[in-house]
Amino acid sequence: LELVYQEMEKYKDDSEKLEKGNVYQENI
């Protein structure tokens, strides 16, 4: 269960990075 939780946290972090990356590209 904890392993699944860690995977979910990692996925959430990656999603946030992608969103920030998209915003960064739009601002250029």
pLDDT for 28 equals: 55
Give the C-alpha separation, 17 to 23, whole Å.
Answer: 10
- Alpha-carbon distances of 1 from 5, 6, 9, 14, 26, rounded to whole Å: 6, 9, 13, 20, 38
Residue 2 above 80 pLDDT?
Answer: yes
- Residue-wise DSSP of the chain: -HHHHHHHHHHHHHHHHHHHHHHHHHH-
What confidence score (pLDDT) does residue 13 get? 85
Considering the entire predicted model, what is its pTM?
0.41
In tens, the pLDDT along 12-27 reads: 888 888 888 777 777 6
